[in-house]
Amino acid sequence: MKKTISVLALLLFLSAASASPITGKAERTLEAKTISLKEVAAFSYCCIPHKGPFTEIENIIRKLTHNIQEQKVTPAGMMIGIYYNSPEVVKPEDLEWEIGFPVAARVSVQKPLEKKQWEHTLVVSAVHTGPYEQTGQTILKMMEWMQDNKLVQSGPVLERYLTMPGPDTRPEDLRSQLWIPCRKK
């Protein structure tokens, strides 16, 4: 566990000082448990796509870190995770997700990194505070809010890790911003 935190802390530290291209004009600071609809800017990102259980995240972060350093790619924002399906719906071995960083549009990468574009500019947004294992509870509240506001999901869930964890970081102090792309019904 300590090794995971140190790798994640290094990655978050590298990206913390950078301006984030994933913030749009309509974005504002969110308080925990506040859900809102916002427009965000499209952005480029590099990632390592993966199919398998979330227990493999530590290995994918290591692989991402190694390849970003080896290829001299400079992150342009905080680490992100993009989740295409849910353990509530598919078996752990069928989960599809990717871990990466926003990057400048001109950046080019080589395998195993892939460069992609986040095109979803209308999102429901919330900040999850607490253990990452409980993020699903916040996502469920966001989905209920979407239903109440006549919105439907139109893309994968994005999670941007806001806390730079260290060895003494308590799980209840972790913060991540969640986006669910949406459109009106």
Q: Which two tokens stand for residue 113?
A: 């990194």
Q: Please report the pLDDT score of residue 23 as a whole number.
A: 40
pLDDT: is 9 or 149 the higher one? Answer: 149
CA atoms within 13 A on the CB side of 151: 21
pLDDT band for position 3 (50/70/90)?
very low
Domains defined for the chain, CATH in brackets: 2-184 (3.20.80.10)
The tens digit of pLDDT for each residue in 86-120 reads 988 999 999 999 999 999 999 999 999 999 999 99
Check: CB of residue 153 under 8 Å from CB of residue 180: yes
> Cis link prior to 87 (omega < 30° from 0)?
no
Cβ-Cβ contacts under 8 Å for 148 (sequence gap 6 or more): none
Question: Pseudo-torsion of CA 44, 46, 52, 54, nearest 10°?
Answer: -80
- For the chain, the average pLDDT equals 84
Residue 33, pLDDT score: 56
